[in-house]
Amino acid sequence: MSPRVKSPGAEPAGETLTLGQPLVQSAALLLPPRFERLRVALEESLASRIDDPEPIHQLRVATRRCATAVDLLGVLIPTDLRRPVLRQLKQLRQICGPARDLDIQRAFYERLLTEADARDLAVIDLLYERGTSRREKLQQDLLDGIARRRRKLERRCTDVLAHLDLLRERTSAPCGRLGETALPLLTGLLQRVCDQAPGPNSSSAQLHRLRIAGKKLRYACELFQPLLEPEYSTLLAPQLIALQDELGNHHDAQVAEEQLAELRQRWKQKRLRPNWDHKPQGLFSWKELSAGLRFVARVHADRAAAARERFFQLWPDFSTTAFRLPLEARLRQLSSAPSRGKRSPGTAPGARPQSDRSVP
């Protein structure tokens, strides 16, 4: 990437985000630190080992933050520059997905080994070793895939930054001001979350859609966080993160339970084959193996139910006094602030790219 990309969180001396700031100037403050963090995350992931899942997790987070910034500031970036960056970010996140899922599974089984009764330990250990073996097989292909996409992504990000430099030199470019883009976006994303208010009978699919909407809101708030301070980082962000964590725990547990059910069905069908006894699972009687799998499935079901219950305990306050109302009040305050500035010529109120392109 360009050597002028600054370290995460860095801003040019004397400059900060303001509502009346030209959007292209705001983009020059917002995009380079995120591209730099992505570069660092790529380097760390290429040096990572399978016993350290954090670099891959941080790489996925960095791709989401970059995709959110590129998408929400997309009014500045031509389609032929924006789409390739978003595509490369999505592909990078996707190739890391299976490894991340296995890292979560292994952490779960490692913890369960310290909590389960002795009769279930052998089957849990079997599942842990199975996950470890699959993760080891993924490692080289994962690193090769990251290395290939790294070069392409660096070129795409450099092209975007070069385009922004050209826009900044064109002082007459009608790109609008930060407030005209940020405030309608945040208001719309908050409304989308609240429109999906859950009920006691909400399905897992409904909760998952709410989780996705909340994730888009969270990354948008992080992008425009300097405008939302001082309330956001100390009061509002912890509420949103706690809600997202419980929705994520619920989703992960449900997916794990479904995958375990599929594994049990496959093993049940394969146990009569001649080579079954040569497999690690063939060392167990079907009764013992089935009982261990049912125990782990119950643990996943209990985790999902507990996360769902904690989420519903958080939602009433989140949707009113703890998050929604304070954020709405802050957005109204910003909307009425004189510093928001007048619209630039040729720019419609709230001009912005479609937020549906935000990363899932």
Q: Is 359 helix (H, G, I), strand (E, B) or coil?
A: coil
- Helix locations, the chain, DSSP H: 23-46, 54-72, 79-113, 118-169, 178-195, 204-223, 225-228, 231, 237-270, 286-317, 324-335
pLDDT in tens, 237-295: 999 999 999 999 999 999 999 999 999 999 999 998 999 988 999 999 999 999 999 99
The closest alpha carbon to 259, from 134, 121, 136, 93, belongs to: 134
Tokens 């001396």 belong to 13
* pLDDT of the residue at 173: 55
pLDDT in tens, 67-91: 999 999 999 999 999 999 999 999 9
Q: Are 193 and 36 in contact (CB under 8 A)?
A: no
Mean confidence (pLDDT) of the chain: 89
Q: Is 167 helix (H, G, I), strand (E, B) or coil?
A: helix
Residues 147-170, mean pLDDT to the nearest whole number: 93
pLDDT in tens, 112-146: 999 999 999 999 999 999 999 999 999 999 999 99
Per-residue confidence band for 5, with pLDDT thresholds at 50, 70 and 90: very low
Per-residue confidence band for 323, with pLDDT thresholds at 50, 70 and 90: very high
> Does 348 have pLDDT greater than 50?
no
* Cα 335 to Cα 120: distance, rounded to the nearest angstrom: 59
Q: Which amino acid is at 170?
A: R
* pLDDT of the residue at 144: 96
The interaxial angle of helices 286-317 and 237-270, nearest 10 deg, is 160
> Does 326 have pLDDT greater than 50?
yes
* pLDDT of the residue at 169: 86
Pick the residue with more confidence: 321 or 170? Answer: 321
First to last CA, the chain: 25
pLDDT over 70 percentage in the chain: 89
* Cα 263 to Cα 265: distance, rounded to the nearest angstrom: 5
176 to 88, 167, 188, 334, 349: CA distances (angstroms): 28, 12, 19, 16, 9
pLDDT in tens, 300-316: 999 999 999 999 999 99
> Does 102 have pLDDT greater than 50?
yes
Count of CB atoms situated within 10 Å of the CB of 21: 19
* pLDDT of the residue at 15: 64
* Cα 145 to Cα 139: distance, rounded to the nearest angstrom: 10
* pLDDT of the residue at 172: 59
Tokens 């997309």 belong to 74
* pLDDT of the residue at 359: 39
* Cα 97 to Cα 101: distance, rounded to the nearest angstrom: 6
Bond preceding residue 230 cis, omega within 30 of 0: yes
Residues 15-39, mean pLDDT to the nearest whole number: 93
Residues 44-60, mean pLDDT to the nearest whole number: 95
Contacts of residue 350, defined as CB under 8 A and 6 or more positions apart, other chains included, come to 180, 181, 183, 184, 185
Count of CB atoms situated within 10 Å of the CB of 209: 15
* pTM (two decimals): 0.86
* pLDDT of the residue at 149: 93
Residues 41-60, mean pLDDT to the nearest whole number: 95
* pLDDT of the residue at 352: 44
> Does 357 have pLDDT greater than 90?
no
Going 159 to 164 to 169 to 170, the CA torsion angle's sign is positive
Instruction: Return the structure tokens found at 99.
Output: 């490894």
